[in-house]
Amino acid sequence: MEGAQTPAAAGGDGGRLLENVMYFARTLRAAGLPIGPGKVLAAVEALRAVGIESRSDFYWTLHAVFVNRRDQRELFDQAFHIFWRNPKLLERMLGMMLPEVVLPDQQKGEEMSRRLAEALKKPGEGEGDKPPEEEIELDAAMTFSEREVLRTMDFEKMSAAEIETAKTAIRRMTLPLADVRTRRFAPNPHGSRTDMRASFRAQLRSGGFMALKRKSQRRRPPPLVIICDISGSMSRYSRIFLHFMHAVTNDRDRVHTFLFGTRLTNITRFLRYRDIDIALDKVAGVVEDWSGGTRIGETLGEFNRHWSRRVLGQGAIVLLITDGLDRDAGIGIGAEMDRLHKSCRRLIWLNPLLRYEGFAPKSLGMRAILPHVDEFKPIHNLESLSELVAALSRPGPRRLEAAAAWRETG
Amino acid sequence: MSLPGSVSDTLDLLKRGNYIADRSLATAVYLALSLGRPLFLEGEAGVGKTEIAKVLAETLGRRLIRLQCYEGLDVTSAVYEWNYPRQMIEIRLAESGTEARDTLEEEIFTDRFLIKRPLLQALEPAIDGPPVLLIDELDRTDEPFEAYLLEVLSDFQITIPETGTIRAEHPPIVVITSNRTREIHDALKRRCFYYWIDYPTAARELEILRVKAPGAAAALSREVVAFVQKLRANHDLFKLPGVAETIDWAHALTQLDVLALTPEAINDTLGVLLKYQDDIAKIQGSEAERLLSQVKAELAASG
């Protein structure tokens, strides 16, 4: 490694490379990668260590510093090739587009990076393809009687104002899942195990007899994964359920939310926005198959392949919200449901159609799902939602048993 | 062995340990070694994440300290624990004697009674240089442990309330692996050099087989690699076979004296390659035959 070729020179007289790396980092940041000043310093340090004799080493050195997750690789790759082929390109672009505007240097930098960020966005990822959903905000404080009527009213039959009121009620819902034991311990005077360390320290402090301190296993709610159908037949419900999912996501950690119609979309990140309107706007921006057809088998297959290992890892409870009406007539659902059932702690199927008296799961899709669920519950009004909340807060019956009665009728 | 001086040296070093790496991976390894920061490896199961740490320890002549993560991993099994039975005996002895009680506390919380677990061991000075610390499958632990690791990995120091802070004079070489069963927090990743190990290309995989399964006939290796690559490319399998499975399969076929793949040989040994019954059922029989004939045709065409 020769001194002239290393960016170490950048330290002294402020070489172009240092400046460019900083510039590049800012471009990446604008494109959405979490890159702070610390990373820029790390990148310069790394380049100093590796040297910049070859382009591929240069690439992978920056890659090792700037990329933190697998899905950032593509963005990095594109940005790298655009930026390092011709960093001037951006300036020229700016010059062409805004000839009359003269900006001070710093602002120019920011403006250009934003441009690049937009250029880097994959088609379909950008916002604006779809007009954001209209949300009518009504600040409706509920009276008691109103609430009583609304509790049993079907979501489908509610007026817009009633739906708003229901949404307010849902916003206050929490989902107290039955805790499961972890393998960690916490001090507990009635615990079943002896905490030797605490005992020793207490004895040394006080002297005399050793009073045994006790500990017990810590408990914690399991992760929750919600997979919700947003196809045409569910459209009336899915908006309401989004509110429910938003309330649950913001109430606790380890919640993952997916929507599916003809394809699967992970919306966990968007639902984390505290403000429901921002969250729903973001969701509307990424989901492309609102109120379309349903392909349950295929989307569940996609979930199993790409997500199940990542989100079902620590004994998750899965809520599957769908009416079981499938465009592909139930093809492939059985095998995928079986796989899903085997990968989670508990699989609960929520079906709004269950509200009808004498409902029998006759459609092919439903018949394919039913053998693989642990519980089968209605979800169509506020009451069934709160019943669900109650059911989830106590340990349920043995697996598969709660849905057994339905299997016989079906 | 001293640390490699460049990316090419690192590549050679790994090769000496029978590890065939891409240059991109060697860059990340070299950065981690020369800048003293942890190397964070992610990738599907069986692509050789853990192996890197083993190879580094072996070729650099360092001790390998492995911390296998699991849910509920805590300080007593990852960092240190006090040896309570011995402390108890010590207290009894002290009580029978006339020693002053205030010196007792100092005595029983000393090195003598400390059981050192992997993380603490890794900070201790070693004769042949700082050890290689492998933190395997970090995604299996929970977030509190991850948060604890932050302190250890950024400052290479551990605080024991009873005695004080232990600091590594020379930080160990840290390799962290994750199967991505959950996302590791950015705060931890930020302190590391990140690399995603992908499935190798056919040429690279063949090279790996040549080194790892030298007993297998050349023609068989080519067929094995082509078949596995086909499985990875075309099929909706729940669990794709990794490099480890390819190597195992080549070994298994060699043990059975198979010189060239046949449908029967595949059906008999498919369990080595695929680990889920649904996947095996999908491939076994006609599908395997179809893939095999494709593989043979392609190999014949390429000479």
Residue of B nearest to A201 (CA): B105
Nearest to B193 among A1, A64, A70 (CB): A64
Best B8, B25, B33, B35 residue to mutate vs chain A (most A CBs within 10 Å)? B35
More confident residue, A19 or B208: B208
Q: Which domain holds residue B56?
A: 7-79+117-197
Contact B72 A304 (CB under 8 A): no
Q: A395 falls in which pLDDT band (50, 70, 90)?
A: low
Tell me what pLDDT residue A86 has: 67
* Chain A residues within an 8 Å CB radius of B181: 309-310, 313
For the stretch B22-33, pLDDT in tens is: 999 999 999 999
Q: Please name the residues in contact with A263: beta carbons below 8 A apart, sequence gap of 6 or more.
A: A288, A289, A295, A299, A302
Best B10, B11, B33, B190 residue to mutate vs chain A (most A CBs within 10 Å)? B190
For the stretch B126-175, pLDDT in tens is: 888 899 999 999 988 888 888 889 888 888 999 888 888 999 988 999 99
**Residue B148 and residue B44 share a domain:** yes
Residue A333 predicted with pLDDT over 70: yes
Contact B182 A301 (CB under 8 A): no
For A405, other C-beta atoms within 10 Å of its C-beta total 10
Tell me what pLDDT residue A402 has: 63
Best A52, A69, A73 residue to mutate vs chain B (most B CBs within 10 Å)? A69
- The reply to whether B85 falls in a domain is no
- The reply to whether B302 falls in a domain is no
More confident residue, A139 or A270: A270
Assembly ipTM: 0.71
Mean pLDDT of A56-81: 87
Nearest to A310 among B181, B190, B236 (CB): B181
User: Count of H helices and E strands in chain B?
Assistant: 15, 9
Q: Chain B residues within 8 A (CB-CB) of chain A?
A: 6-7, 23-24, 27-28, 30-31, 34-35, 42, 70-72, 74, 82, 84, 87, 91, 101, 104-105, 108, 139-140, 142, 144, 162, 179-183, 186, 189-190, 193-196, 236, 238, 278
Q: Assign residue A315 a region: left if phi > 0, alpha if psi is -120 to 50, beta otherwise?
A: left
Mean pLDDT of A330-344: 84
- Tokens for A332? 């492939």
* Chain A residues within an 8 Å CB radius of B191: none
**Residue B171 and residue B284 share a domain:** no
Nearest to B180 among A1, A185, A310 (CB): A310
Q: How far is B279 from chain A (nearest CA, A)?
A: 11
**Residue B206 and residue B186 share a domain:** no
Contact B142 A184 (CB under 8 A): yes
More confident residue, B129 or A5: B129
Best A184, A210, A224, A308 residue to mutate vs chain B (most B CBs within 10 Å)? A184
- Final residue before a domain boundary, out of B167, B197, B227: B197
Domain locations along chain A: 3-120, 183-220, 224-409
Nearest to A60 among B27, B82, B183 (CB): B27
**Residue B176 and residue B53 share a domain:** yes
Contact A50 B28 (CB under 8 A): no
**Which SS3 state, helix, strand or coil, does residue A201 take?**
helix
- Tokens for A64? 């090792």
- The reply to whether B93 falls in a domain is no
* Chain B residues within an 8 Å CB radius of A310: 180-183
C-alpha span between A284 and A291 (Å, rounded): 12
Residue A160 predicted with pLDDT over 60: yes
For the stretch A253-310, pLDDT in tens is: 888 999 988 888 888 888 888 888 888 888 888 887 777 778 888 888 889 888 888 8
Mean pLDDT of B57-82: 91
Contact A60 B179 (CB under 8 A): no
Q: B108 falls in which pLDDT band (50, 70, 90)?
A: confident
- Final residue before a domain boundary, out of B163, B197, B231: B197
- The reply to whether B89 falls in a domain is no
Mean pLDDT of A174-199: 79
Q: A104 falls in which pLDDT band (50, 70, 90)?
A: very low
More confident residue, B27 or A9: B27
Strand pairing report for B157-160 and B164-167? antiparallel
Best A33, A54, A66, A200 residue to mutate vs chain B (most B CBs within 10 Å)? A200
Best B8, B23, B27 residue to mutate vs chain A (most A CBs within 10 Å)? B27
For the stretch B265-279, pLDDT in tens is: 999 999 999 988 888
Residue B152, domain CATH: 3.40.50.300
Q: How far is B189 from chain A (nearest CA, A)?
A: 6
**Partners of B68 in the beta sheet?**
B136
Residue of A nearest to B100 (CA): A207
Contact B182 A314 (CB under 8 A): yes
Q: Mean pLDDT across chain B, nearest whole number?
A: 89
C-alpha span between A404 and B151 (Å, rounded): 50
Q: A375 falls in which pLDDT band (50, 70, 90)?
A: confident
Q: How far is B129 from chain A (nearest CA, A)?
A: 21
For B95, other C-beta atoms within 10 Å of its C-beta total 11
Tell me what pLDDT residue A148 has: 53
For B70, other C-beta atoms within 10 Å of its C-beta total 13
Q: How far is B73 from chain A (nearest CA, A)?
A: 8
C-alpha span between A297 and A300 (Å, rounded): 5
Q: B243 falls in which pLDDT band (50, 70, 90)?
A: very high
Q: Mean pLDDT across chain A, nearest whole number?
A: 73
Domain boundaries A224-409, CATH class: alpha beta
**Residue B154 and residue B70 share a domain:** yes
**Which SS3 state, helix, strand or coil, does residue B178 take?**
strand
Q: Please name the residues in contact with B237: beta carbons below 8 A apart, sequence gap of 6 or more.
A: B231, B274, B276, B279, B282, B283
Tell me what pLDDT residue A399 has: 67
Work out the burial of residue A236: count CB atoms within 10 Å of its CB; fewer than 13 is exposed, 13-18 middle, 19 or more buried: middle
For the stretch B1-23, pLDDT in tens is: 688 999 999 999 999 999 999 99
- Final residue before a domain boundary, out of B156, B181, B197: B197
**Residue B183 and residue B143 share a domain:** yes
Contact B6 A51 (CB under 8 A): yes
C-alpha span between A182 and A221 (Å, rounded): 9
Tell me what pLDDT residue B31 has: 94
Tell me what pLDDT residue A37 has: 87
- The reply to whether B102 falls in a domain is no
**Residue B192 and residue B60 share a domain:** yes
For the stretch A220-233, pLDDT in tens is: 888 889 999 888 88
Q: How many domains does chain B have?
A: 2
Nearest to A335 among B7, B180, B278 (CB): B278
For the stretch A115-137, pLDDT in tens is: 344 544 444 444 433 333 333 33
**Residue B136 and residue B238 share a domain:** no
More confident residue, B156 or A398: B156
Residue A102 predicted with pLDDT over 80: no
Work out the burial of residue B209: count CB atoms within 10 Å of its CB; fewer than 13 is exposed, 13-18 middle, 19 or more buried: buried
Residue of A nearest to B7 (CA): A50
Contact A70 B7 (CB under 8 A): no
- The reply to whether B158 falls in a domain is yes
Q: How far is B244 from chain A (nearest CA, A)?
A: 19
More confident residue, B187 or A147: B187
Tell me what pLDDT residue B102 has: 64
Tell me what pLDDT residue A275 has: 81
pTM score of the predicted model: 0.72
Q: How far is B152 from chain A (nearest CA, A)?
A: 19
Contact A184 B238 (CB under 8 A): no
C-alpha span between A139 and A287 (Å, rounded): 27
- Choose the weakest-confidence range: A184-198, A300-314, B89-103: B89-103
The percentage of residues in chain A with a pLDDT greater than 90, rounded to a whole number, is 3
